[in-house]
Structure 1
Amino acid sequence: MKKIWQLVSVLMMAFVLLVGCSQGDTQQSSTDKTNTTSQTNDKTSTYPMTVKDALGNHIEFKETPKRIVSLVPSNTEILFALGLEHEIVGVNDNDDYPKAATKKTKIGGMEFNVEKVLSLKPDAVFAHESNAKSVEAGLQQLKDAGIPVFVVKSATSFEETYSTIKQLGQITNKEQKADQIITSMKEKVKDVQAKVANVKQRTAFVETADEPDIFTAGKDTFMQEIFDLAKIKNVVDDQSGWFKIDTEEIVKRNPDTIIVMEDYVPNIVEKVKKRQGFDSITAVKNDAVVKVDQDLTARTGPRLADGLEEIAKAVYPEAFK
């Protein structure tokens, strides 16, 4: 189930990015002119507030949410990072970070249990643009019950991730904490860039699914932005989005490093090395097949900067000694 969730998340992220590029500027969160989300000098949110979500719906929050349900892992990680552990009453079945999330009531996976959510009596439900269409009927039932349902945008860049964290901080009266998280992330990004600034650029290939259905990221993806920030040359940047690739093509591209993210496959690093023809790849010859936790880059939240660092370490380990 986790494999399916991760693969869907990656593909939906790619889809949203490509759609966003064709539509021009990304839709920014905004407030209703007649009922604004004003901030005082100490950054305390003012209620009631009306905020526009990723689908363009104006959602009213009459007061600071005290009982929160999160429908996807990326939302959950942001909400916990904002210090809302006690307010969170329900999370997705796939939530495994932070550890405290595993102790919360589970409300279902890709399709949530409406009755379970209603039984938790939330005053705020945070859904996600990536699967909003597939759970549309369930979300409508929650809305019909009078529960504010806010659909969080599918962030396709670091900047959009910062905006999402900022927005959730405003809604939950945690804007100062949100600013601290964003500042910390930006500092880590700068630190990573400083460490790799003087290295000789290497090539890399990343995969998120094992053969026979190997998926990788080309240009116009979040992974490409990470590669660019980390001064890594993507061997498939002549292709767009996430796509399926065969082993013969990987051999032909001959990356210096292979980054694998299949945490559901036992001994995946050794398995990759033993694929037919891979013994001729530079990455295999130099023992540069590295496993990185996919959640660090697939979940667009506070750990995204950590994901950038892990990718950079995988390609330029000497820069981080």
Structure 2
Amino acid sequence: FESGIILNTETVLALAPDLIISGQSLFTNKGLKSTEFWNQRNIHTFLPENANSPALRNHRESLELEYKFIAGLGMIFNKEEQAGKIIAEMQETVKDVQSRIRGRRKPKVMIVEGLGKNLVAYDDSKLAGDICTRLGAYVPSSPFGTVGLEYLLAEDPDVIFVVKSGGDPEAAAEYFKNIPALQSLKAVRNNRICGIALNYTYNSAIKTGSGIKKMAKCIYPDLFDI
């Protein structure tokens, strides 16, 4: 529909859709109400199970759940064969990475996003962390959704992904590299800070394959050109 439209409950009701596809964060009292609200009005809803808020730990996210969402989209739009090919390509990429790194030491990887004075930590319970784990990395579990710089200093990872929502991920990574308090980190000293767009790490759907390749290349720059 037209750009600039205000997306609220009244507007969507006026559009009379057959189906709403959205992340979980849209279906709140301050957003578009609950999925039950729409289902009671014979309007179907389809939500990706990985779409927790980045800072929340409501349930464990995984690559399998992203495959499931893509397969579901294929069924809805009668594109099951195309969806299957997208999933198979991602699975093949993961398998290829795993075969190439067999026997190597697990690098410690952390994925963070700026949130005011704190950082959102995408740990091993989040989709981005699960992808890095499948790629042979060790992603520390975080007891909290948000952490301070002290947490990074204590973990001292080999590789850090800096997530950017809008704007330039590489500029966000460059800013991160220059934070005075973080100059002692291995990842900073070895220039292993990688910027990555939010749509590769959160609710990524068909962009998941590109995200897998981006992460593999940043974790193993000596081995991969994919």
Provide the TM-score with structure 2 as the length reference. 0.78
Q: Which amino acid counterpart does residue 224 of structure 2 have in structure 1?
A: F
CA contact (8 A) 2:118 2:149 kept: no
The separation in 2 between residues aligned to 1:128 and 1:284, in whole angstroms, is: 34
CA contact (8 A) 1:213 1:244 kept: yes
CA contact (8 A) 2:98 2:135 kept: yes
Structure 2 residue aligned with 1:293: 197
The separation in 2 between residues aligned to 1:106 and 1:128, in whole angstroms, is: 20
Q: 1:247 aligns with which of 135, 139, 149?
A: 149
Q: How far does residue 309 in structure 1 lie from its aligned partner after superposition? A: 1.9
1:225 aligns with 2:130: yes
1:307 aligns with 2:202: no
Q: 2:160 aligns with which of 240, 243, 258?
A: 258
Q: Which amino acid counterpart does residue 293 of structure 1 have in structure 2?
A: A
The separation in 2 between residues aligned to 1:318 and 1:115, in whole angstroms, is: 53
CA contact (8 A) 1:255 1:282 kept: yes
Q: Structure 1: give runs of 5+ residues left out of the alignment.
A: 1-89, 91-103
* Secondary structure of the structure 1 residue equivalent to 2:111: strand
Deviations 1:31-56 (A, max 9, x none): xxxxxxxxxxxxxxxxxxxxxxxxxx
Deviations 1:259-279 (A, max 9, x none): 111345773223212223322
CA contact (8 A) 1:132 1:151 kept: no
The structure-2 alpha-carbon separation of the partners of 1:148 and 1:249, relative to structure 1 and needing over 3 Å to count, comes to closer
Structure 2 residue aligned with 1:202: 107
* Secondary structure of the structure 2 residue equivalent to 1:284: helix
Provide the TM-score with structure 1 as the length reference. 0.57
After TM superposition, the structure 1 = structure 2 runs for residues 174-193 of structure 1, keeping only pairs within 5 Å, are 174-193=79-98
Q: 1:164 aligns with which of 64, 69, 72?
A: 69
* Secondary structure of the structure 1 residue equivalent to 2:145: strand
Q: How far does residue 163 in structure 1 lie from its aligned partner after superposition? A: 1.7
CA contact (8 A) 1:124 1:147 kept: no
The structure-2 alpha-carbon separation of the partners of 1:247 and 1:199, relative to structure 1 and needing over 3 Å to count, comes to same
The structure-2 alpha-carbon separation of the partners of 1:248 and 1:305, relative to structure 1 and needing over 3 Å to count, comes to same
CA contact (8 A) 1:130 1:154 kept: no
1:270 aligns with 2:174: yes
Structure 2 residue aligned with 1:20: none
The separation in 1 between residues aligned to 2:22 and 2:122, in whole angstroms, is: 26
* Secondary structure of the structure 1 residue equivalent to 2:68: helix
Q: Which amino acid counterpart does residue 216 of structure 2 have in structure 1?
A: A
Q: Which amino acid counterpart does residue 113 of structure 1 have in structure 2?
A: N
1:123 aligns with 2:29: no
The structure-2 alpha-carbon separation of the partners of 1:215 and 1:259, relative to structure 1 and needing over 3 Å to count, comes to same
CA contact (8 A) 2:22 2:47 kept: yes
CA RMSD of superposed structures (Å): 2.8
The separation in 1 between residues aligned to 2:24 and 2:166, in whole angstroms, is: 25
Q: Which amino acid counterpart does residue 17 of structure 2 have in structure 1?
A: P
Q: 2:49 aligns with which of 128, 135, 154?
A: 154
Q: Which amino acid counterpart does residue 301 of structure 1 have in structure 2?
A: A
Structure 2 residue aligned with 1:280: 184
Q: Structure 2: give runs of 5+ residues left out of the alignment.
A: 51-60
Q: How far does residue 129 in structure 1 lie from its aligned partner after superposition? A: 3.4
